[in-house]
Structure 1
Amino acid sequence: MSSTSAPDMNDPALQAFWRVLAGGGWSALTMRAVAAEAGITLAELRARFASPLEMLRAHAAAVDAAVIEGTMEDDTSTARDRLFDVLMRRLDMLQPNRAGVVRLMHDLPRDPFLALWLATEQPRTMRWMLEAAGLEATGPKGALRAHGLGVIWLATLRAWEKDESEDLSATMAALDRALDQADKAARSLGLGREETGRHGTHTDHEAPEAGSESGVEGGPRIDPETDAPAGTQPT
């Protein structure tokens, strides 16, 4: 893909990629099948994407850009609320390709290389989500925050995978609980309720009150001392 071209979530090739992945899984995915599904030649696809991994990276960048573009200034919101909003909007961007994303999640345990590759890509995305929420994402503190947010994102994805409701209420409750547990375990994400910032957001997503009943297990606790692996995320 050209380094000067902006990523586009509606790119026909990327949409075809997710449809092929949903139908046959990661192990059966080929660039020839993606090109055929997209209605372009293999040479045209190769001119833009070198591999399925590059297509995954391009889609993640497109989702990053869409979330950032939808961020609006709000000096009254807390950091916790902004993170909640940013991650829920990221899930909104994944909804159109839900079948493919869920299939990829199911395939990860059987492909250690893919899981490792995604684990190395995740911090970049999480840093952009921190930036969108108006939180520092550079240096050692930023790295710790990105790691912690990755844990929260993984827990939220697991809830989203099982959530078939139209309003994603179970997913929102799981995210809310994961943020609460992260805040209680460590202040590494800067989630103090008194904190406000310059890059808040306004969307239709509204965080449920802490402790609300949802029937969904909360996210894992974050321990900055052990720095346990945050896991992987598909995009």
Structure 2
Amino acid sequence: MIDKTWASAAEAVADIPDGASLAVGGFGLSGNPMSLIEALHDQGTKDLSIVSNNCGVDDWGLGILLNDRRIRKMTSSYVGENKEFERQFLDGDLELELTPQGTLAEKLRAGGSGIAAFYTQTGVGTQVAEGGLPRLYDGNGGIAVASPSKDVRTFAVGGRSREYVLEEAIVTDFALVHAKMGDTHGNLVFNKAARNFNPLAAMAGRVCIAQVEELVPAGELDPDEIHLPGIYVHRMVEVGPDIDKRIERRTVTAGSASEGA
């Protein structure tokens, strides 16, 4: 029997070195592996290349690593909620590989599935395929590094010829993910929207570290309810159900409270 549980988040991330690449689950502030991110922050790891849908906000999620300038590069699909991200990117202190959201998800899934690359229609006819998107500014408003052009080919699918752009898979040194429940063999169950990018990030990491709200013995999870099999997960840390779960943006319509009473 393989028990993948670790005593603490600090121990589980202790061997992540400076300069490592990480795939990190989460969408906005939903499903962020916050205990693992905080442990990584506390140990001072820097020069990180991170693949995640977004970079949290200024004081939460991956934003705490960004604020202390621990991140060298982000591969993301959305970064609009983080002002510090904007500052560092425009000042030339942070590299950004902006990727369409569905393409990013498939790049992670492909990496975990042993697929080197794939063709997609997303991005054809844009700078995603043609190149020229700013990846790194020079600090003076100029572009130091721009995205390269990608291979575009025509395929006849369903009797209709269309152009497709080649996208390479993503594999990272480590993955950090959050799940509602897991067993000691690493099988994971996610909660509703917190599922988001977590399974895909887990698949892409050579070493996947999962924080779970509840840890149960192997065999207690119904196989039909498991969202991610334990073959993708290498370390498990139980963080409990009472961890802080922030809401990125709350919108309340005027008068809604009295109307719903």
Query: 1 or 2 for the larger relative contact order (CA 8 Å, sep ≥6)?
Result: 1
| TM more than 0.5 | no
TM-score normalised to structure 2 length: 0.26
> Highest Rg: 1 or 2?
2
The structure whose residues are more often helix, as a share, is 1
Higher strand share: 2
Q: TM-score, normalised by structure 1?
A: 0.28
